[in-house]
Amino acid sequence: MALKDDFVEMFGRLGELDAGRFQSNTSGAPFVLSENDTNVEMRCDLTCCGDSILLKLDESWDIAWLKNKRRADYAVFELKGSMLIVHIFELKRTINSKTWKNMKEQFEGAYLRIGAITGVLGKRASKIRLYSCYINDNLASISITKRAALSNQRILKSYKSWKSPKIILNYSVGNVTCTHTKIPLNKSGVGSYQL
């Protein structure tokens, strides 16, 4: 069986479980990632080059025995050659020390759910990449951060973590390092990105 056929069959099994949870894209049309955060609708149009599946990680993906109940907003499963690449997206209106800490926990919860999904489907992700879509970046504001960091090590740690192109996800069995891409949205909450 060709890898592309295997990809379609794999997510066909997922569709049999619940067809309303995902969208497939083999036509090249962009996926629309949207989220409402404190009465602001955010939207990111996402263009994928390869065959891909978009999965909204809503409360229906909760796993009762997981301690981490948080999860990111979306996951995109992209088939690129022989590799299955998973892209995890979280949309936030404003990035600050507190929201960044929450986002990392959401990425960790999404990572665990992706492992469960790919395990059930009999596949393993070759790479997992993380993406933050946001309107306001208060954490990177130098004047605020420098003053606050002098008296608050937590904010300094958040600042350094946010500026890094990699995120370390912490688990009881060890740490996982993933690439992290920031996608700024305009003041209206709209943006686009190409994988």
Burial class (CB in 10 A: 0-12, 13-18, 19+), 179: middle
Task: Find out whether 100 and 139 touch, Cβ atoms under 8 Å.
Answer: yes
The verdict on residue 133 lying in a domain is yes
Task: Supply angle C-alpha 40, 44, 37, rounded to 5.
Answer: 25
Residue that has been written with the tokens 């479980």 in this structure:
17
Q: What is the count of structural domains for the chain?
A: 1
Spatial CB neighbours of 179, under 8 Å, sequence gap ≥ 6 = 129, 130, 165, 166, 167
Residue 53 lies in a domain: yes
Domain that holds residue 92: 3-186
Let me know if residue 157 belongs to a domain: yes
Residue 32 lies in a domain: yes
Quickly state the pLDDT bin for 45 (edges 50, 70, 90): very high
* Backbone torsions φ then ψ of 84, nearest 5 degrees: -100, 115
Q: Mean pLDDT over residues 137-143, rounded? A: 74
pTM: predicted TM-score of the whole model, two decimal places: 0.84
Asked if residue 77 is part of any domain, the answer here is: yes
Are the beta carbons of 44 and 38 closer than 8 angstroms? no
Asked whether residue 192 is assigned to any structural domain, the reply reads no
pLDDT per residue as tens digits for the range 64-106: 666 666 788 999 988 877 788 999 999 999 998 889 999 999 9
Quickly tell me which residue has 């997922």 as its tokens.
Answer: 14
Whether 152 is covered by a domain: the verdict is: yes
163 in a domain, yes or no?
Answer: yes
